[in-house]
Structure 1
Amino acid sequence: MTEALTHRQKMLTFAGILLAMFLGALDQTIVSTALPRIVADLHGLDRFTWVATAYLVASTALVPIYGKLADMYSRRTIEIVAVSVFLVGSGLCGLAGEFGTLPLLGDGMTQLVVFRAIQGFGGAGLFAMAFIIIADLFAPAERGRYQGFTGAVFGTSSVLGPLLGGFLTDKGNGLIPGVAGWRLVFYVNLPLGLLALWFIVTQMPPLRPRTEPKPFDYLSAALLMGGLGSLVVVLQLNRAQHPWSGALTLGLLAGAMVALVLFVVRSLRHENPILNFGLFKNPVFRSANAALFFMGGAFLGVIIFEPLFMVNVLGESATRAGASLMPLSLGVVTGSMLAGQMVSRFGHYKRWMLGGLVLLLVGLSLLATMPPTVQYYQVLMYLAVCGLGLGPTMPLYTLAVQNATEPALMGQATSASQFFRQIGGALAASALGAVLSFTLAHELPTSAQAPATSQTVVAEGPALPSAAATARANPQVRAAFATAIHRVYMVDILLVVGGLLLTLLVPELPLRKANEKVPTIAE
């Protein structure tokens, strides 16, 4: 039991899960800068978006599954499985295409897409299990200061990922004889992952569930993964090739809806559901997760579209556009750490959640009113404000949910928080992209529409330099992109307002000083 753990055991376990979480967060950003070289080597331009999509689908769909497994079996066992699967996937990604075309797996690019999905199966556990294990190690009253480090991990990885990916891709060809630099983007996970695995295997206690496990509902798991997987794929499709009225889009949407409805029906009837829907009767769980749904979208809205503004409006290079996100990341780190420390010291989390959202609204309002003549350093300042506002959303909503949840359901409740943040981000990114495309279609001059809109759809590295050249050469293109991104940020502001209103509905319960009795709203 957690109460018998020494401080040293807790800290070593904490270090191991943070390192594992860092790997998962790093992998979400490190690959983007390597994609142009990967596409050139594996000759897979037609499938390059699936390198990211495969990871996203797998890592989103499995988060609730990990939460349920954590409530049934030893947390250490589940964490070891997650890290191991992630490392196997990383090694396979680095080997993609090395042995030519393979039976069932196809050419090198198809292999990479499959192996990225395997990575995602492990990556889902790295995130979900981190928050669950932290809940086991520390009581809610002191948990804030430790969960604040999770925000720091996300912020740090978002800065290091693109930089490390670019360095290994450009300079890594000579580091290991005969190994292309982009393959090191995946191989770099292996030594760090093995170190995390050593910490977990040797230092982490079993952390077994408090109740005897019941039979796992495999049919519900299949319905959930199928439904969520289809939904995320729909959101990632290129609308130019697969419009909303297209047969593939409608078919996937119908399949997703049917699978998810059947999942809900079965869960309500099964004795051991993947997600206990009784949790939604809890006002903290219900309101906090609804707010996280909106905040996941707001976060992605900032990090996806700000580099497009830098490139297509200010005419900055891809490198400077990527570097401009550093103040945002540093703000997230600072805000997350500060909020976590203050909540652990003074015991009130809601005021920090609301204060962060108000600060985020200020930052987004500045971004939404930027003129095309705004200076580079001014944008950096606005992003730093956004980061400070986003920081408290990383640890505190999850803390509020955990504090209001019975220990026997901690895994499900915690993973649900991660899931609602991720699915909200995926839905919002698709919606905001539609706002951008719709505005550009009406604002761009006819001669510039085809190349410019195609560049925005392909938001990875290879598209940015040519888009920058277009922006410099055509003031109408700059004005059109400025208008489009302003509208995107206005919608982003509405998302944050929605999150703010929902946060007002979150009851603030006294933070427990032990992982036992759950306080009630009346206390």
Structure 2
Amino acid sequence: MTENLTQRQKMLTFAGVLLAMFLGSLDQTIVSTALPRIVADLNGLDRFTWVATAYLVASTALVPIYGKLADTYSRRKIEIGAVSIFLVGSMLCGLAGEFGPLPLLGDGMNQLVIFRAIQGLGGAGLFAMAFIVIADLFPPAERGRYQGFTGAVFGTSSVLGPFLGGFLTDNGSGWIPGVAGWRLVFYVNLPLGLLALWFIVTQMPALRPAGKPRPIDYVSGLLLLVGLVPLVIGLQLNKAEYGWTSPVTLGLLAVSVAALVLFVVRSLRHENPILDFGLFRNHVFRTANGALFLLGGAFLGIIIFEPLFMVNVLGVSATKAGVSLIPLSMGVVAGSLLAGQMVSRFGHYKRWMLGGIVVLLGGLSLLATMPATVSYGQVLAYLLLCGIGLGPTMPLYTLAIQNAIEPHLLGQATSASQFFRQIGGAITASVLGAILTLTLAQSLPASAAAPAPVVVTEGPALPATTAAPASPASKAAFSKAISRVYLVNIVLVLGGLVITLFVPELPLRKTNGPGAVPPAEA
């Protein structure tokens, strides 16, 4: 599909999809620091977690569908659609509550939640399509060095987002008369998104899949959405209000299981389902996605619970706790760029996967054994080590999957890797949150205040924390609980290490042409 493209065309297209990915990644972090001001202006403290949950539900559930669309229609059209939906959602989020309560939408906070879901519909495509288009542009033997930049984009946005969100919220009120500063957090997406659209419309080739498009099985797509939406909502519900055995949680999970079973049955019987289950016969696809599921959970576990340790044990401010995540992000940037370059140069990806996991285990072991007297600087060093270990996980597992899959299934296979990473994070974060709450309930003195809620967001964000507990007993309880969380994280990463040992090391293909895939069981 891309044999006739010049290097300049490839690089301009690459710049466009990276800019679109940066747009989605920045939005995941920039909103978190604006949330306190948003809920104060919109009087929506009771619904503030849904601002994150609505985006997470939509962006997770739509990822597999984007993959199928990319295997059926022009990649450029799908990319343009994803960016356009995201920009419309961003504009609507900025307008939430401006005109008071609206019919069917309710007050400003309800509007924001709904509009964040629209953003998520587009955001799902920004990530999935970036990896798919990069795979179109460059053969596997060259792709590592380019996919490494995706980790760099994610890490850079993780650093810029919280600062930019806080700056716009605190200082942007006077920039546009009558517009609150927090609304600029959403409006800032518009110029960036329009620039990305310009690159995509003017520079990106159509990138049409080979062969005639076959009708998509929209019934299986609907069943997938019906299965995933209640699953993610059930996992994200505040378990202090809706416990694991509450009728609401059990009902959502039951609907999810039933719909997903029907989705599998339908997909196995249909000639063109949303997800071709024949992919699971591929040994690389099975093992790499299994590892991504566990490692995605470990990544989100670090991001959520480390700031809780900073605030509730070391007693730093929420802002300083957020700043502490910068070394993690910088480590991800360094690890992903280094691994991508080395794989493209020497052609071996498995050793870098395993090496990254070993480094991650070292960092997690240090986090899990931190005493309550650990210094702020020591924690930053541990997080940097974790980031360097996590860096290769984003590009290399996806590269291994793409290298083992025929081009006509590239979109589905690539989006599946994104999906398993995201759903692994959502499930693991809920389980780790339950472990934290249970340990605190057993350890905190009866007179101590209830533990701060753990808010799972769609990306690196500040948790909802209170001021640090004054009593040594409370600090010890939080230290013990978070250490236990990291011990579970170590178990997850060890599971990812074991599975990675079984990922076949296939030669990296030097062409994207059909029939060039080596036997997956080689």
- TM-score, normalised to structure 2, is 0.98
Residue 247 (structure 1) shift:
1.1
Please tell me whether the aligned partners of residues 36 and 462 of structure 1 are also in contact (alpha carbons under 8 angstroms).
Answer: no
User: Is 1:447 the equivalent of 2:444?
Assistant: no
3-state SS of 2:242 partner: coil
Alignment of 1:271-286 (within 5 A): 271-286=271-286
**Number of the residue aligned with 1:302:** 302
Counterpart amino acid of residue 427 in structure 2: L
User: Is 1:510 the equivalent of 2:507?
Assistant: yes
3-state SS of 2:448 partner: helix
**Number of the residue aligned with 2:178:** 178
**Number of the residue aligned with 2:137:** 137
Alignment of 1:328-407 (within 5 A): 328-407=328-407
**Number of the residue aligned with 2:116:** 116
Q: 2:489 aligns with which of 492, 498, 502?
A: 492
Residue 467 (structure 1) shift:
2.7
**Number of the residue aligned with 1:156:** 156
1:261-302 CA-to-partner distances (Å, cap 9, x unmatched) read 000000000010100000000000000000000010000011
Residue 390 (structure 1) shift:
0.2
Distance 1:462 1:385 in 2: 22
Answer 1 or 2: which has greater helix percent.
Answer: 1
Counterpart amino acid of residue 16 in structure 1: G
3-state SS of 1:212 partner: coil
1:166-219 CA-to-partner distances (Å, cap 9, x unmatched) read 111111111111110000000000000000000000000000011211111111
Residues 361 and 91 (structure 1 numbering): CA distance in 2 closer, same or farther, change over 3 Å?
same
Residue 29 (structure 1) shift:
1.1
Residues 279 and 463 (structure 1 numbering): CA distance in 2 closer, same or farther, change over 3 Å?
closer
Please tell me whether the aligned partners of residues 16 and 199 of structure 2 are also in contact (alpha carbons under 8 angstroms).
Answer: yes
Counterpart amino acid of residue 271 in structure 1: E
3-state SS of 1:52 partner: helix
Please tell me whether the aligned partners of residues 440 and 449 of structure 1 are also in contact (alpha carbons under 8 angstroms).
Answer: no
Distance 2:438 2:234 in 1: 18
Please tell me whether the aligned partners of residues 455 and 467 of structure 1 are also in contact (alpha carbons under 8 angstroms).
Answer: no
Runs of 4+ residues deviating >6 angstroms: none
Structure 2: gaps spanning 5 or more residues = none
Counterpart amino acid of residue 340 in structure 2: G
Residue 152 (structure 1) shift:
0.4
Q: 1:477 aligns with which of 471, 474, 477?
A: 474
Residue 153 (structure 1) shift:
0.7
Residue 114 (structure 1) shift:
0.4
Please tell me whether the aligned partners of residues 404 and 520 of structure 2 are also in contact (alpha carbons under 8 angstroms).
Answer: no
User: Is 1:415 the equivalent of 2:425?
Assistant: no
| Aligned alpha-carbon RMSD (Å) | 1.2
Residue 454 (structure 1) shift:
3.8
Report percent identity of matched pairs.
77
Distance 1:355 1:138 in 2: 25
Counterpart amino acid of residue 304 in structure 1: I
User: Is 1:324 the equivalent of 2:321?
Assistant: no
Please tell me whether the aligned partners of residues 293 and 423 of structure 1 are also in contact (alpha carbons under 8 angstroms).
Answer: yes
Alignment of 1:243-258 (within 5 A): 243-258=243-258
Residues 30 and 275 (structure 1 numbering): CA distance in 2 closer, same or farther, change over 3 Å?
same
Alignment of 1:424-443 (within 5 A): 424-443=424-443
Distance 1:244 1:328 in 2: 31
Please tell me whether the aligned partners of residues 35 and 461 of structure 1 are also in contact (alpha carbons under 8 angstroms).
Answer: no
Counterpart amino acid of residue 137 in structure 1: L
Worse overlay, 386-395 or 209-218: 209-218
Alignment of 1:20-59 (within 5 A): 20-59=20-59
1:222-279 CA-to-partner distances (Å, cap 9, x unmatched) read 1101110100000100111111111111111110001100000000000101000000
3-state SS of 1:4 partner: coil
Residue 449 (structure 1) shift:
4.1
**Number of the residue aligned with 1:12:** 12
Distance 1:285 1:243 in 2: 35
Counterpart amino acid of residue 483 in structure 1: K
Residue 355 (structure 1) shift:
0.2
Residues 463 and 286 (structure 1 numbering): CA distance in 2 closer, same or farther, change over 3 Å?
closer
Distance 2:464 2:117 in 1: 24
1:455-509 CA-to-partner distances (Å, cap 9, x unmatched) read 4469976843x332xx2x2111100000000000000000100000000010000
Residue 520 (structure 1) shift:
1.8
Distance 1:411 1:522 in 2: 21
